[in-house]
Amino acid sequence: MDSSTHTMLAITWFGLIGLMLVFYVITDGFDLGVGILSLLRKRREDHDVMVQTIGHVWDANETWLVVLGGALFGAFPEAYALILQDLYLPVMVLIAGLIMRGAAIEFRHSVDHGPLWDKVFGTGSLVAAIAQGVILGEVITGLTPGAVSTAFVVVTAIGVVAGYSLLGATFLVNKTVGSLEQWSRRLALLSAFVTVVCAMVLTAATWFASDIGHERWSQAGIFHLLITLAVGAAFAFATVIASLYLGSSKAPFRASVALFILSFAGLAISLFPDFIPGKLPIVNTASDPSTLVFMLIGVGLIFPVMIGYNLYQYYIFRGKVSGS
């Protein structure tokens, strides 16, 4: 295959990995958000309801992370190797957090140690969210050391925790009733504002402190496209706030999902044509064309099954959870 075909396949896989990341962040994001918010509730009955809202879907949601890791390894092995080499600690912390959460969901029914496992559930969710924020921040800064990069990573970690809390809170608004739903509405408002503030700080830092980011955003057509996405994100944010005040159950979560999708679209545009800014161009780090084609066939078979199963899950377990 010629170089143009390889380039097209590499770009296609960059888009597919971005799509997998969006699916993971949205589906497992509200799971992690529910876990994070559980740390703020003291009543065991509330913990029971919160876990029940995600009890039938959380494990399937995590399969997107497994597929994402496999796709990255096969399609962009250099990026996979560099990320694991430089980000080994946060990746291991992420896995530890997910293990803590999974174990806690299974063991929280213990008569003697149930409250302890509830704390493990919340702590594991928080640890996993922070680790994901650190990984994202390190990738965006091009794995560059320094005080500015460290500050960027810290804000990114806070933003991810706040964003997952927003998804979790709006999901609870959609799935719970009574005092827990009203409490979730208040937390959703707070999380939404913190998420947007972090996004604004990171946007300003990218423009003023990142030469690579400034150069990318200054390219013809890119700035206007990002402005369009920013306007869409602002509308989604306004919809979240308005729907929470107006008492809607479904609209806050849907608008939060839209906010995440638009934000990730802006991130993908900002990173392109590099996988890691200033270090790994997408085309140069991609596998050979035959590998990319073979994987593309596999993904074409797996994607419909995974998406269909997720949709079926949410349809079967739709409706409010009121507890016992």
Phi-psi region of 288 (alpha: psi -120 to 50; beta: other; left: phi over 0): beta
Rg (CA), the chain: 20
- Cβ-contact 265, 225 below 8 angstroms: no
Instruction: Provide the pLDDT confidence category of residue 235 given band limits of 50, 70 and 90.
Output: very high
The pLDDT value recorded for residue 128 is 94
**Residue whose C-alpha is closest to residue 168's, from 186, 179, 184, 189:** 184
Q: What percent of the chain has pLDDT over 90?
A: 33
Element (H, E) at 280: strand 280-281
Q: What percent of the chain has pLDDT over 70?
A: 96
**Residue whose C-alpha is closest to residue 143's, from 281, 280, 286, 284:** 280
Question: What value does the mean pLDDT take over residues 40-52?
Answer: 86
Q: Using one digit for the tens of pLDDT, what is the confidence trace for 161-201?
A: 999 999 999 999 998 888 889 999 999 999 999 999 998 88
Would the pLDDT of 212 be above 70?
Answer: no
Return d(Cα 145, Cα 158) in angstroms, integer. 19
Listed in sequence order, the DSSP H helices in 220-288 are 222-246, 251-271, 282-285
pTM for this model (two decimals): 0.91
Question: What value does the mean pLDDT take over residues 75-103?
Answer: 89
Question: What value does the mean pLDDT take over residues 286-304?
Answer: 89
Q: Using one digit for the tens of pLDDT, what is the confidence trace for 99-116?
A: 998 888 888 877 677 788
First and final C-alpha spacing in the chain? 61
